[in-house]
Each structure stands twice: as C-alpha cells, then as structure tokens.
Structure 1
Amino acid sequence: MTVVDTLIHARWIIPVEPESVTYEHHTLVIDGGRIIDLLPTELAKQKYQGTTTENLENHALLPGLINSHTHAAMTLMRGIADDLQLIDWLQNHIWPLEQKWMSEAFVKDGTDLAIAEMILGGTTCFNDMYFFPEITAAQAIHHGIRASVGLIVIDFPTVWAENSEAYIEKGLALHDQLRHHPLITTPFAPHAPYTVSDEPLQKIKTLVDELELPIHMHVHETLHEIEQELEKTGQRPLQRLHELGLIDPSFIAVHMTQLTDDEIARYAESGAHIVHCPESNLKLASGFCPVAKCIAAGINVALGTDGAASNNDLDMFGEMRTAALLGKAVAGDASAIPAMTALRMATINGAKALGLDNEIGSLSIGKAADVIAIDLSHLETQPLYCPISQIVYAASRQQVTDVWVAGKRLLKQRRLTTVNIDELRMKIAEWQERLAN
C-alpha cells in the first residue's frame, strides 16, 4: 500500500475535464502538493494510505475557482460609492479616495480582507490589477493562495510610481523577484486604452514577447470609452490595440461589453481571451458582454468579479449564476450558457486565460492540488438531480467547507487556517473610520 499525503473520499468529484463528467464515490489522491490519482473509493482504500484522510460523504469536489479579474485592495471601499455610473464613480469618488489614502498599509489590509473572502468562497487563484503589487504578492504568499499579480501601468502619477516608465521599471523588478515562485505569476497590467498611451503599450508589447507574459487590460468597458476614443483618434479602442500588435494569444481583455460582430470575429482569430464580469457590469450599467456570441466564435471566456468596490462582493458562485442567466437573456436563448459552461468559465477557462491550464483549472492527474469541497446536503440544494446544475444555480459560497491550494489546506470545515479574523476585523474597522471621514 502506497503512503500519500492526503486522501479525499467524496460523494461526487467534478473534474471539469473531461467536460460534463461527474464521478460518484471517488477519491482524490494528493501527494507533494499535486494530484496523483483519481479513482473509485473502494479501490483507493486498497491502494493508498493517507497521512490525512477526509471522508466527505455529502460533498462535491471541484477544482478551485479562478477569479480572473480583481482589484483586491479595493475591498476596503466596498459600498462606499454605490449606484453611480462608472465615470462618476471613478473620477469623483474612487480616485480621490485613492489619492488620499493609497499606501502599502491600505493594500496589505485590503488584500488580506479580499483573500479571506475569496478562500471562504472557494476561490484558489485570483488575477489582480492594483497599485503596490509587491504587497499583494506578499500577502498572497503569506496566506498560501495562488495569484496572478498584475504589473500595473498607467500614464498618470500615483503614490506608487510617477510615470509609465517608472511603473514598467518597478514591474520588471517585481517580475524578476517572483519569476520562480510556485504560487505567483506576473502579467503586465496596463490599466485601459484611455489611461495608457501608445509608447508604454509598445514597450510592454516588446517586454511580454521577450518574457512570455500575458497582458491583462480593461477594454471596451463602456460606450463612453468608445465614444471618447472615436472623438480623440477616430478609432475604436480595440482597433488601436490591434494596430499596436497587442491582441494575440497572450492578451486578456476585461469587460468587453461593447463589441460588433466584426470585432468578435477578428478577436477570435487572434486567440486572445475575455474576462467577463457580469455583476460589476450590471451594477455600473456598463453594458452586456455578448458571451454566447463570443464562445460560439471560439473565444475563451473566463469569469471575474472585478473589485468589491463595484460588485460588491468577490463571490464566484454568484458570478457563475449571473453569467449563466444573463447570457441566456442577452442571447435570447435558454440554452446559450449551460451550467457546465459557466463552471468552465470559473475554472479551466480562467486557467487558460492566465496561461496556467497545465497547472490548475481541473482535477487532472499531475496538476496542482487546488481543490474545493462543497456540502450539497443543505436544504437549499435538495433534492439533487444534477450536481453541476445544483452548484451553478442553487448552491451558495457558504456551502464551501474546505479549500486546498497546492495540497495545503487553507479552509478547514469553514475555518480559515492562515487568517487571524479578529485582528483583521480590527484593521478593517480602523479603515472604515478613516475612509468615511
């Protein structure tokens, strides 16, 4: 009998790959932080002995959810400027608060809050874009969560950097520091076409080609953005990005609520990715990403929450449900975004967008053991005919009981193992008092 680190015996295992498969009474075998086997429980008991063994008789195991677009530190501004249009929200509320309060401490405490919320909700990897990315990375490492930490670039000065050249230099230094870390990757993250000019974008393109990094960028988020660019240059933003050579398989466009059929076709040909943020788009009235059309064209569409300042949560279960329901309404077709498609958007599609699909996104032998367990015995998920549909349409993030990242347990029976909740509550209360005055 082979001794391994962890055996998880579960009522259901939904590996995501193969698609639409659910294994009943199976066991996930974890050793050295990786999945080494997935087999019927009776066979697993004969073949393996676990240093730790979990019997989850009412649970479904899934790959950890991947939140493909976040501004983690902005969780400190949750609910501070609600029910406003994007430009008003940004220019008159969020940016002034950031100018006043942005600091390493702000990013540290906001990121800690975001990480705690994400782990509790079954997210094991997040793709972030914010200032002081070195702090975000440090807190992700401290808590053991996987993170794609964006090397933000913007034209105007902030407390973190004085100009686009300084952003790029500091980003490169952070990339060099973290390039071998097993939990952290560092895509470039130019903020948006309207905040980053051609010269830094051209430099970023040269660097990502050399370093083989993704680019993570807000694109076509609102009609106002399109109109502004047309008035300024006579081009739609996507056209400009195509001409700069940015749109290729390493490019991740977030939001994409304003797309023509021709733009969808050309974007599909490029092999670039989209991150859909349905709840943030709805709350800011930014528009509707035509997800069904994009998927039909062959575009890889992942899922993100955006920041909690505009959502107002980091709940990937909510995003899956909203993406599925909204996608049907926008397409006028009840079959447009099935439950399995929504689940793939929150797992393997996110991994593909981040260039991590060989490592995470499915419960496949050889991949990192990023795993979550969902208790489906709750009355709210009974009766149960199809676990996949139940998870997308009925389950809540409060039903996530256990979370592992690279085999390390970050949530044990709803208890966070790396977060001091009392200490975190005190820090958040202090920030609330500061930001409210």
Structure 2
Amino acid sequence: MPESTAPLDLLLLPTWLVPVEPAGVVLQDHALGIRNGRIALLAPRAEALKHPALEVRELPGMLLSPGLVNAHGHAGMSLFRGLADDLPLHTWLQEHIWPAEAKWVDEQFIQDGSDLAIAEQLKGGITCFSDMYFFPEITSQRVHASGMRAQICIPVLDFPIPGARDADEALHKGLALFSDLKQHPRINVAFGPHAPYSINDLNLEKIRLLAEELDAGIHMHVHETAFEVQQSLEVYGERPLARLARLGLLSPRFQAVHMTQVDDHDLALLVESNSSVIHCPESNLKLASGFCPVEKLWLAGVNLAIGTDGAASNNDLDLLGETRTAALLAKAVAGSASALDVHRALRMATLNGARALGMEDEIGSLEVGKAADLVAFDLSGLAQQPVYNPVSQLIYASTRDCVRHVWVGGKHLLDQGHLTRLDEQRLGATARDWGQRIAGHTPCTAH
C-alpha cells in the first residue's frame, strides 16, 4: 500500500493547533496526523476524520505546538542544583562549581544527572535540548535511551576537565563520538569551546577547521558578562566576539550563548555572519550578568533562540517559564510593551531554537514531512480562563504543569503528565542520594 494511502498511526484532535510556521497562525478545529514518526497530515477536523487512523486521540482544551527546544544547558549539572546560589558568575564558577566538578564529576554522575535533566525537560514540554558538559558520550547514551532529541557539544577548554586531560584529547574523543553518531536520527554532535577566556587562539583555530570539515555547529558562552569583555580588551586588545570573528569562527553554524553585552560592532558581526544568539534570561538575571538586547537583535535579523542554562545557575530546566521571562524582560530592556510578542516568544522556543542547532528542516514547526516532535498544553484550567488568545494564555498564564503529552518522532514519551520510559521514583531517589553525599562534603555557608 502506498504510504500516502496507508492508515495514519495517530490522529490528534486538539482545540488549538499552533504550527509556528507560518508565523502568528492559530488553527481551530484542525487535526494533525502522524505516520512513521513524521507529520503526515494537517487538515480541518472534518476532513482529517475521513482518513483512516490506527488511533484517534481527542485533546479537548489543549493547544498542540511543536516541541520546545532548549538551546543551551548542562544536563549533568542537575545534581548541583542549589549548591551555590546568590553569587556572581566568576565567584560561583571558580570558588564553588569548578571545585565541586573536580571532586564529584565522573561517568556515573553524568549518567544520573543527565537522566534527571532529561526527565525534567520532557515533563516540561521540551523535546530537544543542547547539552554542553563533561563525558558527552555518556549524555548521548542517555539521550538515545530516553527517546529525546539533542545536540551534544564536545566540551573543550585549555586546562584538564573530567574526561579529558587537555583540548587535544577532548577533540580526539569528540571526533570519535561524531563518527559514532553521524547517522543517529535524533542526536547531532557539535563543538563546545567553553568561552573565549578559557580557550586559546590555537585551539579555537583547530575547532574552526574541524567544524568546517564536518559541517558541525560551534556552541560557546560569549559576552556573558561585562567583566569578560573588559578582560578581553586588556589581554587581546579586542572584544571577544571580534576576536572570534578574526579567527573565522562566526558563521551560520555558530551559536553564541548569552550575549548580554552587545555594541553596534558586535551586532554587525552577528548579522554579517548569520550567527545565532541563544538567550538565557533567568541564569543571566540570577548571576547579575546583564541583559541581552533581544528586541534590538531581532529587528536586525539575528536568529534568537532560548535556553535554560544548567540547573546549578537557574535553578530549573523550565523552558516555558524561561520564555515568559524572556518576553517580559525584552519589553523592559527595549522600553517597549510591544517588544517580543507572544508569537515571537514561542518561535524563539521552537523554530528559532531548531535553526540555531541546524535542525530547522527536521523540527521546530508543525509542517507535513517534519518529525512529529509535539507538545500538548492543557489550557482548560481556571488560571487560563477565559481564553481570548491561546498563545497569550500559554506564554503569560500557564506553567509547565500544563504539559499533558509529549511526542518525539511520533513516540509518546509523556502521557497525561506521566513519563512512559523513565522511572520518576528511581530518578528522585538517586538524586537525593547524590545530594546527601555532596552535602556531606560541602561546607554549609550562608551567602
């Protein structure tokens, strides 16, 4: 039987369907059909019901959208959630996080932390995430087992890190992982040089050459703080982004995370290179790192995605909440109530994230032929009534507790709020055990 006439595997009938592309559209009384893990049908409800389907699922009061894309995080760090709060970035990193990582991070830590992060993200409607942390081969194994989608970034720094003695070993292991996963349907591998201040020109040039050869992304913390920019001016005589441009790293594959410090020259470099910016508003707020000028970047044509950062600096992996914060903060920074409206905010959390990670042909919008990565949000609660604009109610009046269903590649990974492949009780017990061990060896100080 030709595929086009074969029965659908699943027909979903939500109250609202928000495809994200075309922009600003909300469809009512429409249905979405899935066949072989892909979106095979988008049609009015009455027409869709004429198609044979192995399963038909009514989603009353629900908004069906593309799965959320968390474009920046550190999954294993979930086990450091709340370990060192209310501290500036460099104190937090150098005096607390880096010492804790040196003591605790091993393959088991990464496995358990990644499982915890994957579960939290799925329950929050995230179907794809970008991860930049140690032992990336372990994280990729956990992503594979979970059914989720991810970009796994190879961490590269000039000094020893868990799992690699130096940048050369990190790159060697990264190339092996790239080779192992190049045919994987749900995992992309990218390079993850930590930040301009933690990696030298020679290693950055090696990364540029490898990324060009492999057509791989480069994912990097850039312009996270004013201190970082000032330090670069003192050491290199140029701002970090200008240095990266001089070294040839900026391109459509480049993913600049944070960018709280943006002058006109920075903006021109981002626009000319077609680099993406990944905005992490809550981590930036909590660490007092600064404000990414989202509206200014958007109006200039920069692709803007959104990320939670790690649970040690946020402290949650809640992309819906992050998107609300991004929308509100963009208005305050721009001095305009119309900055980053709800449809653009949702686009940042879906299609723009997919574009930043080089996955826009596969995910990020509800279009026939794309992978069936979907999330159903329940807008039937009292807190969402009345519903004049369902996307406004999603961004401004809903929490991740409204997430009812998640599909990745057509696989049902969250059903009525319950994970179908992961054991929540076991994950919680494992995390509590790690917490007790780490707390027993960490001085308890008030900040």
Same fold (TM over 0.5): yes
1:231 paired residue among 227, 234, 250? 234
2:36 paired residue among 1, 25, 32? 32
Mapped to 2, the partners of 1:154 and 1:52 lie a distance apart of 49
- Secondary structure (helix, strand or coil) at the match of 2:54 reads strand
Shift in Å, 1:262: 2.2
Deviations 1:350-396 (A, max 9, x none): 01111100000000000000000011001111110001111111111
| TM-score normalized by the length of structure 1 | 0.99
The aligned counterpart of 2:16 is: 12
The aligned counterpart of 1:392 is: 395
Mapped to 1, the partners of 2:298 and 2:432 lie a distance apart of 43
| TM-score normalized by the length of structure 2 | 0.97
Supply the AA of the counterpart residue of 1:129: M
Deviations 1:303-360 (A, max 9, x none): 0000010000000111111111000000001111101111000000001111100000
Shift in Å, 1:49: 2.1
Q: 1:158 and 2:161 equivalent?
A: yes
The aligned counterpart of 1:68 is: 71
- Secondary structure (helix, strand or coil) at the match of 2:141 reads helix
1:295 paired residue among 298, 302, 307? 298
Shift in Å, 1:159: 2.7
Q: 1:102 and 2:97 equivalent?
A: no
Mapped to 1, the partners of 2:240 and 2:266 lie a distance apart of 11
Deviations 1:101-122 (A, max 9, x none): 0100100000010000000000
Shift in Å, 1:416: 0.2
Mapped to 2, the partners of 1:43 and 1:392 lie a distance apart of 30
The aligned counterpart of 1:173 is: 176
Figure out how many residues of one structure are paired with residues of the other and give that number.
Answer: 436
Supply the AA of the counterpart residue of 2:338: S
- 1:33-52 maps to which residues of 2 (within 5 A)? 33-46=37-50, 48-52=51-55
Supply the AA of the counterpart residue of 2:186: L
- Name stretches of at least 5 consecutive residues in structure 2 with no aligned partner: 441-447
Mapped to 2, the partners of 1:22 and 1:259 lie a distance apart of 34
The aligned counterpart of 2:444 is: none
**RMSD of Structure 2 on Structure 1 (CA):** 0.8
- 1:120-269 maps to which residues of 2 (within 5 A)? 120-269=123-272
The aligned counterpart of 1:366 is: 369
Shift in Å, 1:269: 1.3
Deviations 1:398-424 (A, max 9, x none): 000000000000000011001111211
Supply the AA of the counterpart residue of 1:87: H
Mapped to 1, the partners of 2:161 and 2:267 lie a distance apart of 34
Mapped to 2, the partners of 1:187 and 1:158 lie a distance apart of 18
Q: 1:342 and 2:342 equivalent?
A: no
- Secondary structure (helix, strand or coil) at the match of 2:49 reads helix
Q: 1:276 and 2:279 equivalent?
A: yes
Supply the AA of the counterpart residue of 2:157: I
Supply the AA of the counterpart residue of 2:87: L
Shift in Å, 1:426: 1.6
The aligned counterpart of 2:88 is: 85
Mapped to 1, the partners of 2:428 and 2:369 lie a distance apart of 38
Shift in Å, 1:217: 0.3
Mapped to 2, the partners of 1:343 and 1:82 lie a distance apart of 29
Mapped to 1, the partners of 2:61 and 2:191 lie a distance apart of 41
Mapped to 1, the partners of 2:268 and 2:211 lie a distance apart of 24
Shift in Å, 1:2: 4.4
Equivalent residues of 2:135, 2:162 under 8 A apart: no
Mapped to 1, the partners of 2:426 and 2:339 lie a distance apart of 45
Mapped to 2, the partners of 1:215 and 1:336 lie a distance apart of 29
Supply the AA of the counterpart residue of 1:27: A
Deviations 1:75-119 (A, max 9, x none): 111111010000010011111110000100100000010000000
Aligned identity (percent) is 53
The aligned counterpart of 1:420 is: 423
